[in-house]
Structure 1
Amino acid sequence: MTDPDPDRTAGRPDDRAGPVSAWHRLAADAVLLDGFHALKHAVRFGAEVRVALTADRGAALALADELAGDVREELAALLTEVSHDTYASLVPRPHPTAVAALAVRPSRAGNLERLAHSPRTAPVVVLDNPRNLGNAGAVIRLAAGFGATGVVTTGTLDPWHPTVVRGGAGLHFATAVERTAVGELPPGPVFALDPEGEDIRSLKLPDDALLAFGSERSGLSPELRARADHLVALPMRPQVSSYNLATSVAMTLFHWSAAGGAPHAS
């Protein structure tokens, strides 16, 4: 007998034990996609999603109909409905959309190859020893939106930490995201943001630039400053101490894009 509603197949009670068991088996090594939008973006940009669960399949697919028609069928095939208690037991903090998924992290070798590829047609954003997980996620989301080649962090913060991925709304899969030492940064001229630098409005940022940003508290590290080819300052009113990190990245990427580095469809 033909199922009258194929979209409900993955949500049948007798199909739930497999995905939940898979979740427990995969969770330690997989990337947590927290919420509908993270899953939508990950699927849209080619992530290998291993398991996807929701406490309200109908609501999730309604969101897909409204916001993600291009990947609606893929989402319908992936999503398995579970009870809200089961869903809540699997994630650190339930998302309002009651959707969560696990995906395979892109290979480090592949990301490093993308970052080092020459000629680059868009800059790499470098976060020098960032501290705030949410800010790092916001920067990755910005970089993906502007079509940057990737985001590289130095220091101890893991750019694939679940809180960073949550802040990035799954857009880690739309750009190359890795952590390296300063001495292992991709090739290209380094334009480092610093209050003592040259006003960015007088500069044209090249497509192959590394755009480097220090932490809000301590600024650029000595190692990154020594690696910099140019120090660049954002316009700022006197007596205002600093901009938020994500705001600084947004202003700099906009300045680059305004000179012709506009986003383009892949």
Structure 2
Amino acid sequence: MTEPALKPLASRDNPFVKRLHALAHSARERRKLDETVLDGAHLVESALAAGVPLRALVVSETGLLREEHRRLLAAASAEVPRYRLGDALFAHVSPVDSPSGLLATIAMPASVPIDLADASLIVLDGVQDPGNLGSLLRTAAAAGIRHALLGEGCAQAWSPRALRAGMGAQFVVCIEEGCALLARLERYRGRCLATALREDARPLYELDLNGPVAWLFGAEGQGLSPALLARADRCVTIPMAAGIESLNVAAAAAVCLFEQARQRRTPTKP
């Protein structure tokens, strides 16, 4: 296989280098330029597998020594420009403290209204930490949930940090961002469940989760907004050992979503 041509870049003042740094570090610039950055071989491979067009590929001098990176550079369309940066310059544009050695840029995927119908989904209210948001999407994807509604106060689902935490989940979950959550749930035909303490709360393992469920999850510390909590058809609690008060939102979501997945895979006893 012919090695693709790599254009060397050596200056922070190069227009592409400036653009890449802006995309990696500024949510405002990502919105303005309508692009985002994929960090690392796994995300680049996930994008290629999902048929997402790459706009550019960037590899560091050290990253070019890795066979996996060279394979991905060769696998992308011939029209995709490819750049080689020295390690220090690559670290400057990298969105993470420990540079992976390979970056790609893609157009910011459009937020398309989801046809909720009878689908199970996650509903995220004010989850501002991109790492938590990405972890929630990754957990949903792993549990077979393919729809996510993100309220206006959430972090960008396509920011580099959220993408890194999601590990490819953004390419398999249908994501609708900037939602008016209550309005979107008005005609939802399934149940809305929230992990919260309320008088009518029931332990998770006592519930039948075989039907469609909209799982409502709020931000760390603040939890769900009062209006969205009131929309919940039922609140659920996660049984825990004595002395443990709560789980973080990503861990709580994992317990809930995989309990639903377990029930759906377990044959009903006669």
TM-score if structure 1 supplies the norm length?
0.77
Shift of 1:172: 1.2
User: Aligned partners of 1:152, 1:59: CA distance in 2, in Å?
Assistant: 40
Shift of 1:182: 2.4
> 1:186-209: per-residue Cα shift (whole Å, max 9, x none)?
423211111342111111224531
1:49 pairs with 36, 54, 58, which one?
A: 54
| Alignment-mate amino acid for residue 53 of structure 2 | E
| Alignment-mate amino acid for residue 195 of structure 1 | L
> 1:47-73: per-residue Cα shift (whole Å, max 9, x none)?
2221111114544443686xxxxx785
Shift of 1:260: 2.2
Distance 1:53 1:164, change over 3 A: same
Are the aligned partners of 1:23 and 1:51 in contact in 2 as well (CA < 8 Å)? no
Residue 216, structure 1, aligned to residue 223, structure 2: no
Question: SS of the residue aligned with 1:232?
Answer: strand
Residue aligning to 1:137: 134
Instruction: Map 1:70-85; keep pairs closer than 5 Å.
Output: 74-75=75-76, 80-85=83-88
User: Aligned partners of 1:149, 1:64: CA distance in 2, in Å?
Assistant: 32
Residue aligning to 1:166: 164
Residue aligning to 2:153: 156
Are the aligned partners of 1:207 and 1:261 in contact in 2 as well (CA < 8 Å)? no
Question: SS of the residue aligned with 2:55?
Answer: strand
Residue 202, structure 1, aligned to residue 197, structure 2: no
Percent same amino acid at aligned positions? 25
Shift of 1:181: 2.2
Question: SS of the residue aligned with 1:108?
Answer: coil
Residue 39, structure 1, aligned to residue 40, structure 2: no
Residue aligning to 2:253: 249
Shift of 1:117: 4.1
User: Aligned partners of 1:23, 1:170: CA distance in 2, in Å?
Assistant: 25
User: Aligned partners of 1:260, 1:10: CA distance in 2, in Å?
Assistant: 50
Are the aligned partners of 2:194 and 2:229 in contact in 1 as well (CA < 8 Å)? yes
User: Aligned partners of 1:88, 1:199: CA distance in 2, in Å?
Assistant: 47
Are the aligned partners of 1:200 and 1:235 in contact in 2 as well (CA < 8 Å)? yes
Residue aligning to 1:259: 263
User: Aligned partners of 1:168, 1:23: CA distance in 2, in Å?
Assistant: 25
Are the aligned partners of 1:23 and 1:102 in contact in 2 as well (CA < 8 Å)? no
Residue aligning to 1:68: none
Are the aligned partners of 1:124 and 1:149 in contact in 2 as well (CA < 8 Å)? yes
The structure whose residues are more often helix, as a share, is: 1
Instruction: Map 1:21-32; keep pairs closer than 5 Å.
Output: 27=23, 28=29, 29-32=34-37
TM-score if structure 2 supplies the norm length?
0.76
> 1:72-120: per-residue Cα shift (whole Å, max 9, x none)?
85348555433223322323435442111111222212xx23xx24342
Question: SS of the residue aligned with 2:139?
Answer: helix
Shift of 1:253: 1.0
Question: SS of the residue aligned with 1:213?
Answer: strand
Residue aligning to 2:2: 6
Shift of 1:21: 5.2
User: Aligned partners of 2:197, 2:240: CA distance in 1, in Å?
Assistant: 9
Instruction: Map 1:36-115; keep pairs closer than 5 Å.
Output: 36-55=41-60, 56=62, 58-62=64-68, 74-75=75-76, 80-93=83-96, 95-109=98-112, 112-113=113-114
Residue aligning to 1:184: 183
Are the aligned partners of 2:129 and 2:155 in contact in 1 as well (CA < 8 Å)? no
Are the aligned partners of 2:63 and 2:100 in contact in 1 as well (CA < 8 Å)? no
